[in-house]
Amino acid sequence: MANLNYKTFTLGVEEEYMVMDPASKELKSHEQKIVQEGQKMIKDKVKAEMHQAVVEVGTDICADIEEAHRDVSTLRRTISDIAGSLGYAMGAAGTHPFSHWESQLITDHVRYNEIVNELQEAARSNLIFGLHVHVGMETREMANHIANSTRYFLPHVYALSTNSPFWEGRKTGYKSFRTKVFDKFPRTGIPEAFESIEAYDNYVKLLMKTNCIDNAKKIWWDLRVHPFFNTVEFRICDVPMTVDETIAIAALFQAICAKIYKLRQQNMNFIQYPRPLINENKWRAGRYGIDGYLIDFGKEEEVNTRVLIYELLDFVDDVVDHLGSRQRIGYVHKMLERGTGADRQLAVYEQATNLKSVADYIHSQFLEGLT
């Protein structure tokens, strides 16, 4: 078994950031100035998003988690510097604590105009910020196999990423309200398992043939075999507040893929559970974060979410040294101690009793841990 090729599991990380007014911390349209300046320095690693108060960044294809850490750190620093020079402040959380989507401008772009025209209020209100992690695959067949098996673990990692407890000035009672906002879109949530890559491709072709979608990127599931790249793309997570959290989550997704791959090479697999069961865990993860219980479907009982995350770390332990990610994945322990972004936002709110302090805190964390 020594000949497993862990080098195929390259990484790509995409983060969506909020642009704020430095004084009020309200979301603020940057009229794509940050993107325009950013493209002079980091080319197409920075992009506009549908709402003008959002900036999206994406790393290069990274050979390992250390390269991903360097790239994400550089992107956050660069965007923060540009924003500061233009009179804006940056932050990373799944939703803004108090800004209202009604007052935010939509980017004038053919693709966004089409989406708004089709999805109407669901699109206009979709003012949320996510983290997408791409893990490279040998083949699309392997990508489909790994996507099917890793669906089970989506709620566990999502619970760790929860970072959106507030929406439009209200405490929602959820640790992640972002996915509740996104659920209004079609073709979202936990996907079904596909018996083969051909079955998945046929599904996409049928949707295109019948004018449901005009391209495969309009499938917005929590996890998808990427339509154009040989990657599995994990899309369930809120954007984390800090770089260390983002990198720990990326390392965990990479390790889960490598572990399923290793099992496959030994003619084994992880049990496939149906979508409605995984959905129960997703709901619990969004509502309670790491402080609730998820269902262990093997035992058919509720288990403390933290315990299940420790079990997940044990499950992937035999591949992390091959991936060179032990230190980065080890940060998950710190996250379980410190609490998720949502837990920390709520703690600031309890103490200060105002949401401006929460937004100030989100901004203060954007470059946390970067020298």
CA 190, CA 274: separation in Å to the nearest integer?
A: 10
What's the number of domains the chain is made of? 1
Is residue 370 in a domain? no
Query: pLDDT tens, 345-362?
Result: 999 999 999 999 999 999
What does the buried/exposed string (b/e) look like for 249-258 if buried means 16 or more CB atoms within 10 Å of the residue's CB? bbbbbbbbbb
Is residue 335 in a domain? yes
Query: pLDDT tens, 208-248?
Result: 999 999 999 999 999 999 988 899 999 999 999 999 999 99
Question: In this predicted structure, what is the pLDDT of residue 227?
Answer: 87
Query: pLDDT tens, 95-128?
Result: 999 999 999 999 999 999 999 999 999 999 999 9
Question: In this predicted structure, what is the pLDDT of residue 228?
Answer: 87
List the beta bridge partners of residue 293.
Answer: 304
Query: pLDDT tens, 273-307?
Result: 999 999 999 999 999 999 999 999 999 999 999 99
Residues 6+ apart with CB under 8 A from 139: 230
Question: In this predicted structure, what is the pLDDT of residue 145?
Answer: 97
Give the CATH number of the domain where residue 64 resides.
3.30.590.20
By the 8 A CB rule, do 40 and 337 touch? no
Question: In this predicted structure, what is the pLDDT of residue 201?
Answer: 96
CA 255, CA 259: separation in Å to the nearest integer?
A: 6
Quick check: 200 pLDDT over 70? yes
Question: In this predicted structure, what is the pLDDT of residue 1?
Answer: 44
| Complete DSSP assignment for 97-152 | SS--GGGSPBP--HHHHHHHHHHTHHHHT----EEEEEEE-S-HHHHHHHHHHHGG
Question: In this predicted structure, what is the pLDDT of residue 175?
Answer: 98
What is the average pLDDT value for the chain, to the nearest integer? 97
Is residue 245 in a domain? yes
Question: In this predicted structure, what is the pLDDT of residue 282?
Answer: 98
Query: pLDDT tens, 169-179?
Result: 999 999 999 99
Question: In this predicted structure, what is the pLDDT of residue 86?
Answer: 98
Q: Is the pTM of this model over 0.85?
A: yes
Give helix then strand counts, H and E, for the chain.
Answer: 14, 13
Is residue 203 in a domain? yes
Query: pLDDT tens, 61-107?
Result: 999 999 999 999 999 999 999 999 999 999 999 999 999 999 999 99
Is residue 65 in a domain? yes
- Can you give the residue range of the structural domain that contains 120? 6-365
Quick check: 265 pLDDT over 80? yes
Is residue 282 in a domain? yes
Is residue 156 in a domain? yes
Question: In this predicted structure, what is the pLDDT of residue 256?
Answer: 98
First to last CA, the chain: 40
Query: pLDDT tens, 134-160?
Result: 999 999 999 999 999 999 999 999 999
Is residue 371 in a domain? no
